[in-house]
Amino acid sequence: MRLTSEQIERYSRQILIPDLGGTGQIHLRQGRILVIGAGGLGCPAGFYLAAAGIGTLGVLDSDQVELSNLQRQILHTTSDLGRQKVESAREKLNQLNPEVEIRLHPVRLTEENAAEIFDLYDFIVDGSDNFDTKFLVNDVAVKLGKPFSHAGIIRMQGQTMTVIPGRSACYRCLFREPPPPGEIPGCQQAGILGAIAGTVGSIQATEAIKYFMGLEEDLLVDRLLTYDAKEMKFRTIDVRQDPQCKACGGK
pLDDT tens by residue, 45-97? 999 999 999 999 999 999 999 999 999 999 999 999 999 999 999 999 999 99
Residue 91 CB partners (closer than 8 Å, separation 6+):
none
Q: What would the DSSP string read from start to end of 87-144?
A: HHHHHHHHHH-TTSEEEEE-S---TTTHHHHHTT-SEEEE--SSHHHHHHHHHHHHHH
Q: What is the pLDDT of residues 187-212, one digit of tens each?
A: 666 788 999 999 999 999 999 999 99
Report whether pLDDT(250) > 80. no
CA–CA gap between residue 203 and residue 224 (Å, rounded): 12
Q: 11: closest CA among 136, 75, 100, 130?
A: 100
pTM score of the predicted model: 0.95
Give the pLDDT band (50/70/90) at residue 178: confident
CA–CA gap between residue 197 and residue 56 (Å, rounded): 23
CA–CA gap between residue 240 and residue 221 (Å, rounded): 10
Q: Is 43 in a helix, a strand, or coil?
A: helix
| pLDDT at 176 (0 to 100) | 83
